[in-house]
């Protein structure tokens, strides 16, 4: 039987690259999206043109547990199985400490940690049955806090801890690991970054350049498709930035 993977937030950026990489490994891919329907449909057509009946798109609001459960059921039912999950979808925007409000807190925590946690819970029985894999996309700023992004960093730190907790809860049948991207893509309009800040970031990275979405995608494909003795781990893909030993300045993360 052909294995199936669900990738959340797979219509764009890192998620789209992960979907393509796993498709190239022979997986059928369920592309989750929230608002990016047009982009999700483009990727579906692209992948189905390569291999018929190999991709589909499903919409869900991951901040709502009812929607998460519906997504899980639909994902299993579409091809009658689910072998792997990539929790990539995330919200990313600044929350200056003095002005953080409850709505911002709830929204970031819901999309970045509550949704992934309850999605794993909803899929746990199927993943156990298949000897499944889970990959969570976190952030290097769970280790080095990002000024004015405290709630985002807290939410991703929660997902990093969930990786460890779920690896323990789901062992031995399911392996759960995480990837922590560094500077892979420049932030979008909700977290603009000046040319000076971009230059300073590149200068701080030991490898002196941005990473590529395919750096994340290839590692995700390895963690999902390769059997091994690895679970509960977070692997940084940051060009050595974590070796510098200082926080990254505002706007200098991936923004999945």
Q: How confident is the model at residue 187 (pLDDT cuts 50, 70, 90)?
A: low
According to the model, what pLDDT value does residue 250 have? 44
Residue with the larger pLDDT of the pair 241 and 222? 222
Would you give the DSSP letter of residue 255?
-
Q: Which CATH class is domain 4-243?
A: alpha beta
Helix, strand or coil, per DSSP, at residue 207: coil
For 34-72, the pLDDT digits (tens) are: 999 999 999 999 999 999 999 999 999 999 999 999 999
The answer to whether the CB of 146 falls within 8 A of the CB of 252 is yes
pLDDT, averaged across the chain: 91
Q: Which of 86, 89, 85 is nearest to 113 (CA)?
A: 89
Tokens 């409000």 correspond to what residue?
A: 101
For 135-145, the pLDDT digits (tens) are: 999 999 888 88
Domain chopping of the chain, boundaries: 4-243
Average pLDDT over residues 76-82: 98
Would you give the DSSP letter of residue 249?
P
Average pLDDT over residues 209-230: 92
CA–CA dist 12, 81 (Å, integer): 25
Does residue 186 carry a pLDDT above 80? no
According to the model, what pLDDT value does residue 242 have? 84
Helix, strand or coil, per DSSP, at residue 51: coil
For residues 131, 64, 177 and 57, what is the CA-based torsion angle, rounded to 10 degrees? 70
Does residue 253 carry a pLDDT above 60? no
According to the model, what pLDDT value does residue 139 have? 94
CA–CA dist 212, 240 (Å, integer): 14
For 7-23, the pLDDT digits (tens) are: 999 999 999 999 999 99
Residue with the larger pLDDT of the pair 126 and 244? 126
Q: Which of 33, 78, 152, 229 is catalytic?
A: 152
The answer to whether the CB of 134 falls within 8 A of the CB of 175 is yes
Cis amide linkage into residue 75, ω under 30° from 0: no
The answer to whether the CB of 123 falls within 8 A of the CB of 73 is no
Q: What is the DSSP string of 88-151?
A: ---------GGG--HHHHHHHHIIIIIHHHHHHHHHHHHHHHHT-EEEEE--GGGTS--TT-HH
Q: How confident is the model at residue 252 (pLDDT cuts 50, 70, 90)?
A: very low
Q: How confident is the model at residue 240 (pLDDT cuts 50, 70, 90)?
A: confident
Among this protein's residues, is 229 annotated catalytic?
no
Q: What is the DSSP string of 150-194?
A: HHHHHHHHHHHHHHHHHHHHHTTT-EEEEEEE-S-S---TTS---
Residue with the larger pLDDT of the pair 227 and 8? 8
Does residue 182 carry a pLDDT above 90? no
Does residue 194 carry a pLDDT above 80? no
């Amino acid at each position: 039987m052909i294995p199936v993977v669900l990738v959340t937030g797979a219509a764009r950026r890192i998620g789209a690259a992960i979907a393509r990489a796993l498709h190239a490994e022979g997986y059928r891919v369920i592309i989750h999206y929230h608002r990016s329907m047009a982009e999700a449909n483009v990727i579906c057509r692209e992948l189905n043109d390569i291999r018929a009946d190999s991709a589909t798109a499903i919409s869900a609001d991951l901040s709502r547990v009812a929607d998460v459960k519906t997504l899980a059921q639909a994902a299993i039912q579409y091809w009658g199985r689910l072998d792997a999950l990539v929790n990539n979808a995330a919200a990313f925007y600044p929350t200056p400490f003095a002005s953080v409000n409850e709505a911002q807190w709830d929204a970031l925590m819901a999309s970045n940690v509550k949704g992934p946690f309850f999605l794993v819970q909803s899929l746990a029985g199927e993943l156990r049955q298949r000897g499944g894999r889970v990959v969570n996309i976190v952030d290097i700023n769970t280790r080095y806090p990002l000024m004015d992004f405290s709630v985002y960093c807290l939410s991703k730190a929660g997902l990093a801890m969930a990786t460890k907790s779920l690896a323990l809860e789901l062992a031995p049948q399911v392996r759960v690991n995480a990837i922590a991207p560094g500077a892979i893509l420049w932030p979008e309009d909700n977290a603009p970054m000046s040319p000076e800040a971009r230059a300073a970031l590149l200068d701080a990275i030991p490898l002196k350049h941005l990473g590529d979405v395919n750096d994340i995608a290839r590692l995700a494909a390895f963690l999902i498709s390769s059997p091994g003795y690895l679970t509960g781990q977070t692997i940084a893909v940051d060009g050595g930035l974590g070796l510098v030993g200082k926080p990254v300045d505002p706007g200098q993360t991936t923004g999945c």
